[in-house]
Chains A and B, each alone.
Chain A
Amino acid sequence: MKTRYQGYLFILPATILLVLLMVYPMWKTFTYSVTDFKLIGNSSTFVGLQNFKAVMARYDFLNVLKNTLIWVVVTVFFQFALAMIVALFLNVKFRGRAVVQIIALIPWTIPSVVSGNTWKWIFQTDFGLMNALLRQIGLGEFVQPWLSQPKMAFFSVLFAAIWQGYPFLMIMLLSGLKGIPEDQYEAAMIDGASPSQRFRYITVPNIKNIIVIVITLQIIYAWNTFDIIFVLTGGGPGGATEILGLFIYKLGFSAFNFSEAAAVSVLLLAFVIVILMLRNFLTKKETGTIYEKKKITL
């Protein structure tokens, strides 16, 4: 006989961990953000929104926020565009497709520290591959210190992040493409629809939900990027590549200003929740596709 309490027993260990190490820490972050919590002494008095005000008043906060927004928009846009192109290509049947798919996924499985070091070496000023190739093909005037010049540093880090992150989107989109019934395309071909029309009126509506999900996930991931920037530039030069994740880390563990770092964490979390609510709103309105009767979960 299956009884209810057995169900609870099965999920008990995981739930205890979740409460102790997810729910409780989240609550702690919130309390740090509204108190004058210090690393030493564990004292904490309620200070209201003072930490949030202090963060806003920091000279570099607006710059970090701006960087983060640009970072999210640009990485997600390019990752999505690239992922869609590659997914459409891998949805065509050809010999060796399974192998190409694995190869396309490899940048995603490599440790982010390693991809950081890889691109750091490629973008290295004097002996890096990028500058060497530019010299070789006669574009010597474009040779530059990729990582130590503010504008180019942002671009270089972006380039590395797209390389590393797009395969995840690609594989999700590909699984969606594979689920589209073949006969819809056949019918459209008979009606004389062009490839771009088929893409617009069959492909996109059919995978609209997956598109919303992967873009939501990717916005959240981009918003939290840390590893690749930390390894490539550490947020430099002069804060040019510093985004919220690095800002929290530095504020908390270099400046040891825990309560202000917690305030930034709360803002970051609030953004994630807003994005999720937006996602739910967008997917709920969905009607008229093959996913009509399927409940989409994140």
Chain B
Amino acid sequence: MRKRKLRYKILITLGILLICLYSLLPIFWVLSTSFKQPDVIFSDPPQWIPKNPTFDNYKTVIQNPAMIQYFKNTVIISLSSTVLSVVIAVLAAYGFSRYKFRGRSVFLGMFLFSRILPRVSLILPFFIILRNIRLLNTHLGMIIVYIIIGLPITIWLAKGFFDKIPIEIEESAILDGCGPLTILLRIIVPISAPAIGAIAMYAFILAWNELLLALILTLDISTQTISIGLSYYKLEFGISWGNLMAGSVLMSIPAVIVFIFFQKSLVDGLTAGSVKE
């Protein structure tokens, strides 16, 4: 029996080790490269932990005016689209969760279907439409596009969370004469704050990481986002792997931190969304 327990422990430890190595080794290599001096980057055999770590790569990236502009654009676009997306999604999800109206299932079905619409098949009309309403290469255009791209899932997540809130809480508020908007703002939103955090996180990461639409709908440095900056890095600056890795680390930090912070509610929401009673 004891032998079996030992074997079990070894297997578990091995599994943990393998998962961590597989997930983290590439990331560790990026981090390590980002702290290396140019000559160490090309050393053979590779140095896992740089002997003389340096912040030079980060300094170069942070002091590069183009990179500053990319970051600024990304922050403006992702924050604005996140705020608007959450407001619109919360309203719609509350409507779907609490009201029965004609065509409800048709509308809901439309939102669900648009969740799996291929983004690559939308790039042509998005380009033409934004060009025709003169929003091509503007922050506003990007914000609107990112709201709609995220909406199907944010609505679905929010609806899932709202459905779990017992309706009795609202009924007493209705008796007190509260209107529906007051109920939503004073009762539902405060109760579901962690869930709304997860939804905001989803919308934020979506906009922060997006590449394809930014590639088509932004034309110059005044609106281009950090994902464009990093995918064209070599063209503009000549391949400096140290700088590129430092830029990659800086771009990943917000996404990873936000994820770790809200991962529990997000994972619950996403998985509950697929198997619903």
Contacts and interface: CB of A to CB of B under 8 A. Distances in A.
A69 interface: no
Contact of A111 (B24, B128, B227, B260): B227
Interface stretch (B57-65, B189-197, B249-257): B249-257
* Residue of A118, A172, A231 with highest tally of chain B CB at under 10 A: A118
Interface in B231-258: 231, 233, 241, 244-245, 248, 251-252, 255-256
A222 B270 CA distance: 19
Contacts of A5: 101
A29 B118 CA distance: 12
Nearest to A39: B128
A298 B276 CA distance: 9
B88 to A, nearest CB: 5
A223 B118 contact: yes
Contacts, number: 276
29 contacts: A2-B99, A2-B174, A8-B95, A11-B107, A13-B91, A13-B92, A17-B144, A18-B111, A18-B151, A29-B121, A89-B19, A105-B263, A110-B255, A113-B231, A113-B248, A114-B251, A116-B231, A121-B29, A121-B244, A163-B22, A224-B119, A226-B212, A268-B121, A269-B121, A294-B277, A296-B275, A296-B276, A297-B112, A297-B273
B6 interface: no
Contacts of A210: 274-275
B275 A231 contact: no
B248 A114 contact: yes
Interface residues of B, number: 90
B274 A11 contact: no
Given A94-B16, A121-B29, A171-B270, 10 more contacts: A1-B174, A7-B98, A21-B144, A25-B122, A25-B125, A104-B19, A111-B255, A112-B209, A127-B41, A230-B212
Given A171-B270, A175-B275, A28 B116 contact: no
Interface string B206-246: 00110110011000000000010011010000000100110
A188 to B, nearest CB: 19
A190 to B, nearest CB: 18
- Interface majority SS on B: helix, strand, loop or mixed? helix
A110 B252 contact: yes
Contact of B126 (A25, A114, A129, A132): A25
A107 interface: yes
Interface stretch (A55-63, A149-157, A258-266): A258-266
Interface residues of A, number: 97
* Residue of A8, A114, A115, A265 with highest tally of chain B CB at under 10 A: A114
Interface string A89-130: 100101010001011111101111111111101101011010
Interface of A: 1-2, 4-11, 13-15, 17-18, 21-26, 28-29, 32, 86, 89, 92, 94, 96, 100, 102-107, 109-119, 121-122, 124, 126-127, 129, 132-133, 135-136, 163, 171-172, 174-176, 179, 209-210, 213-214, 217, 220, 223-224, 226-227, 230-231, 244-245, 248-249, 252-253, 258, 261-262, 265-266, 268-269, 272, 276, 291, 294-298
B148 interface: yes
A29 B22 CA distance: 41
A217 B271 CA distance: 13
Contacts of B199: none
A1 B173 CA distance: 11
A29 B148 CA distance: 17
Contacts of A258: 124
A18 B19 contact: no
Nearest to B16: A100
